[in-house]
Amino acid sequence: MLHRQESAGLVVITQPTHSWVAGCIARVWGNEQFGLFVPREEVCLGAEQHDIGWVVWETAPTLNTKTGYPYNFMELPTAIHTNIWSGAKHLALPFGRYATLLVSLHGTGLFERFRNWQKTLESSRLVQAYLDQEYAFQEQLIANLEQDSYYAAYATPENIQRNRSLVAIWDTLSLALCMGLDESRHFHHIPTALGETTITLTPVGNDIIKVSPWVFHQDKVTLVYEGRLLEDKFTNEILMRQTLNNAK
């Protein structure tokens, strides 16, 4: 769950909604400078479903008693967080192997990059167990794709790494857009047709964001997503969930 503070209260956005926005970005991504990606539909699906592991938790989010709001995705205890990501591959697999590989790689990439979980020995143990499990799954899945007459061409280390990087940047851009921009932000190591570059997102008013350089194959991109407004804080988890279900 994402939090976006507004004057009327806290807007909460589910992880599946944010993930869907990432998928929307993927579907309009690419031009002469930024190139294409293959297999296109599977990569778009992987972007769209990269947070599929959160689906069950989002149906009954837990209350952070320290804030009075549902936990946001950065606050969850390590045990819950690793459990969510451990289950993601099982939820994704019915959609297809290549998309599932990208979902799994995205999860391990998050834990590899962000080291807050190293605060205690127990959290470190939980994360390492999750990583070991996912690495083994990824190795097996890649080997399976390499034996596939269609997917073998897309299962090369170079292609997988490019697609993994794209899902990560689409995730980051979606987070920035969903949580709101009040000043320019720079995003580095963006894959292009010939290498990497930096892009800048700048708010220019009326929910309009300028993107430079332009990364899309359309002249204009419109994104619409849902959030729910919480006007009060909570001490009761059941009441919080009921309020969420009825929020607009």
pLDDT digits (tens, 9 = 90+) for 67-123: 999 999 989 989 999 999 999 999 999 999 999 999 999 999 999 987 766 678 888
218 CB-contact burial (10 Å; exposed 0-12 / middle 13-18 / buried 19+): exposed
pTM over 0.85, yes/no: yes
- Are 21 and 225 within 8 A, CB to CB? yes
The angle formed by the CA atoms of residues 166, 191 and 182, to the nearest 5 degrees, is 75
Angle at 27 between CA 22 and CA 32, to 5 degrees: 115
CA 30, distance to chain mean position in Å, is 19
The secondary structure of 62-81 as a DSSP string is PEETTTTEEPPTTTS-HHHH
DSSP character at residue 153: G
State which H helix or E strand residue 198 sits in: strand 196-203
Alpha carbon distance 62, 46 (integer Å): 26
- Residues 5-32: pLDDT tens digits? 999 999 999 999 999 999 999 999 999 9
